[in-house]
Amino acid sequence: MSVNGKRRPLGAAAVGLGALGAGELLAAARGGSVLDGIGRLAADYAPVPVVETMVAQAGEHDKEMTRLGVALGGIAAAAGMALLPPRLRTPAAVAFGAGAAAAALRSANRSVPGAAGGVAAAALLRAGLRRSTAPRHGLLWAAAGTGMLAAAEVLVRREDQRYREVARRSGSWGAHAPVPEDGLGLEPGLSPLITPAGKFYVADVNSRPPRIDPAQWRLAIGGRVAHHLRLSLADLAEQAVEFDAVMVCVHNTAGSGRCGNARWFGVPLTALLDHAVPEAGATRLVTRAADGYTISLPLEPLRTGEWPGYLVIGMNGEPLLPEHGFPARVFVPGIYGQYSGAKWITELELADDTHVDYWCKRGWPVEPLWVRPQARIDVATCGGTSSGKFTVAGVAWAPPHGVAGVEIRVDETEWLPVELGSEMAPAAWRRWRTLVDLPPGAHTLQARVISRSGEVQDSAERPPFPFGPGGLHTITVTA
C-alpha cells in the first residue's frame, strides 16, 4: 500500500482509464454512452472562443475529437484525484459520478445506461484508488480500460448500424425526378452534382444522433395556432415535393467541406402553416428537436413563401440518415445550417419574440444569417509533364438567387471567367471548370463567385463568428 508519491498520479490515471472503460462498456451494452453525455455538456457550455477553435482545428472530425477530449479529461481528473488529500477523494468521486450521470440524462438520447455507466465508473475509480497502484497494476487497469473502450465502440457501432436499417426502411420515397447532368461530365476530383448522403458533412452538438422510433414519432405543430396538429411520416410523405439545394454550415470557411448539395424531399412550410393557422401574436416559428436544440425563424416570410422553407423527410431518394436528422428536419435553402432549422424535429412551435434559441445564448445573432456566396476549387491537375496546362474545377453557390458566374485568377492578377455547368436550381450548387496555362514555377490560384443578385464574393478574410466567414479559396500549384 505504500506508494512512491511521484508515481501516484500516473497510477491513478491508469485506474481512471480502467474505470472509464468499464463504465462506457456497461453503458454501451444498453445502447448508451458516458463519453457522449459529457461531450454534449461540453458543447452546451463551452464559451464561443473554445467552440470556434475546436471547429476550426478539428474540422470534420469534431465528434471524434470531442470524445477523445472527454476521455483524456476523465483520465486527467482521475490523476488529479491522486493529488487530493484522501478525505476529499470520496466527495470528488461522488461529484464526478453525479456529474457524468446528469450529463448522460440530459444528452440527446436521455441515456439512463449512460448515467449508470457514469456512476459505475466513479465507484470503480474510488475503489481502485484505495488499492495498490504498483506499476504492474497500473498497466493492468490501463490495458483493461483500453480493451473495454474498444469493445464499447464495437457495441455502439453495431447499434448504430441496426438503427440505420430502421431509418432506411421507414419510407420508400425514391427520387421522383432523375438527377440531371450538368454537361461537365466526370472530372476526376470534382465534387459530384449531388453529394451522397453518407458523404454529406455532419454538424451538430451531439456525439451521436438521437434514436427515434419512426412508428411512434409525430410532428407536433403547436403554440399560437388555431389547430394543433400531429402528423406522422406517412402524413407528411403525402404532401412532400422534391427540391435541390446546397446546405452550408456557418463554419464553412473558403475551401472547406462543411457543405453539400442534395435533392431533398419535404413538405413546404406554407402548407403546414396553412393547416395550423397561426394566431395573431405569433411572430416566430420555433423548430424544436429531440436533442434539445432549438432554432427559430421569423414567421411572416415563411408563411407567405417569400422564404421557401420545408419540413424535410428525405434526401437523395431515401429517408434521412440518422445523422442528418431522421425522421425529419426543417430546412430553408439559402440560410446557414445553424439557422435553417433543427434536425430530429419534434415540434414546430408558433411563438412570440420572447423565445431564445440554443446558440443565441452564446452571442450568435438572433436573426437568420444568409449564406454568403462562395466558390471552392476542388481540383487543379496538370495536363502532362512537359506542359503548364492545368484543368481547374470546383463548385460554387449563391443561394437563393443562383450563380451568375465564377472567376479565377492566377497570382492575384486579373479575374478570368470559367465555364459553368448547367444549373440544377438557383439554390443548388453549380459546378465549374476551366483550363489555365501556367509558366514554370509556383503559382497561387483563387476563385470567386458572382451571385445572380449582383453580389460578388467577399475577398476579405473573416472568421465565421458572428456573421459567417469571408475570404477566397486560395491554393498553390507548381507548374
Ligand X SMILES: Nc1nc2c(c(=O)[nH]1)N[C@H]1C(S)=C(S)[C@@H](COP(=O)(O)O)O[C@H]1N2
Q: Which residue's Cβ has the minimum distance to ligand X?
A: 337
Q: Which of these segments, 54-62, 95-103, 196-204, 411-419, binds ligand X (CB under 6 A)?
A: 196-204
- Assess 337 for contact with Mo ion (CB under 5 A): yes
Q: Please choose, out of 1-9, 74-82, 339-347, 420-428, the segment that lies near ligand X by the rule CB under 6 A.
A: 339-347
Residue 205, contacted partner among Mo ion, ligand X, none, CB below 5-8 A by kind:
ligand X
The binding track of 282-301 with respect to ligand X, each residue x by CB under 6 A or -, is -------x-x-x--------
> What mask of x and - would describe binding to Mo ion in positions 338 to 367, judged by CB under 5 A?
x-----------------------------
On whether the CB atoms of residues 336 and 370 are closer than 8 A, the answer is yes
Nearest CA to 371 among 245, 460, 283?
A: 245
Phi-psi region of 454 (alpha: psi -120 to 50; beta: other; left: phi over 0): left
Residue 225 DSSP one-character state: B
| Binder of residue 96, out of Mo ion, ligand X, none (CB less than 5 to 8 A by kind) | none
Rule CB under 6 A: say whether 55 interacts with ligand X: no
Structural contact between residues 287 and 174, judged by C-beta atoms closer than 8 angstroms? no
Contact status: 338 vs ligand X (CB under 6 A): yes
Q: How far is the CB of 462 from ligand X (least distance, A)?
A: 18
Contact between 203 and Mo ion per CB under 5 A:
yes
Nearer to ligand X, 100 or 321 (CB): 321
Nearer to ligand X, 202 or 277 (CB): 202
Which range in 71-79, 223-231, 273-281, 341-349 contacts ligand X by CB under 6 A?
341-349
On the 0-12 / 13-18 / 19+ scale of CB atoms within 10 A, 229 is middle
Closer of 108 and 249 to Mo ion (Cβ): 249
Q: Strand 442-451 relative to strand 473-478: parallel, antiparallel, unpaired? A: antiparallel
In angstroms, rounded to a whole number, what is the distance separating the alpha carbons of residues 101 and 117? 8
The burial class, CB within 10 Å (0-12 / 13-18 / 19+), for 474 is: middle
Supply the DSSP symbol for 458: P
Residue nearer to ligand X on the CB measure, 62 or 378: 62
**Helix axis angle, 112-130 relative to 8-28, nearest 10°?**
150
51 near Mo ion, rule: CB under 5 A: no
Residue 293 interacts with, from Mo ion, ligand X, none (CB under 5-8 Å by kind):
ligand X
Nearer to ligand X, 269 or 445 (CB): 269
**Residues 211-250: x where in contact with ligand X by CB under 6 A, - otherwise, as a string:** ------------------------------------x-x-
249 binds Mo ion (CB under 5 A): yes
Count of residues in contact with ligand X, rule CB under 6 A: 18
How far apart CA 217 and CA 221 sit, in angstroms, is 13
The Cα-based distances of 376 to 258, 271, 311, 379, 464 in angstroms read 12, 35, 29, 9, 16
Distances (CA, A) of 179 to 168, 279, 317: 20, 40, 10
Cβ pair 243, 266 in contact under 8 A: yes
Q: Does 342 bind ligand X (CB under 6 A)?
A: yes
331 binds ligand X (CB under 6 A): no
Check: CB of residue 91 under 8 Å from CB of residue 103.
Answer: no
Enumerate residues 6+ apart whose C-beta is below 8 A from 186. Answer: none
Q: How many CB atoms lie under 10 A from the CB of residue 199? A: 10
Interface residue with ligand X among 36, 62, 204, 357 (CB under 6 A) is 204
Which CB, 110 or 137, lies closer to ligand X?
Answer: 110
Q: Which stretch binds Mo ion (CB under 5 A): 22-30, 122-130, 336-344, 468-476?
A: 336-344
Pairing verdict, β 310-315 and 229-231 = unpaired
Interacting residue ranges for Mo ion, rule: CB under 5 A: 203, 249, 337-338
Interacting residue ranges for ligand X, rule: CB under 6 A: 200-205, 247, 249, 289, 291, 293, 324-325, 337-338, 342-344
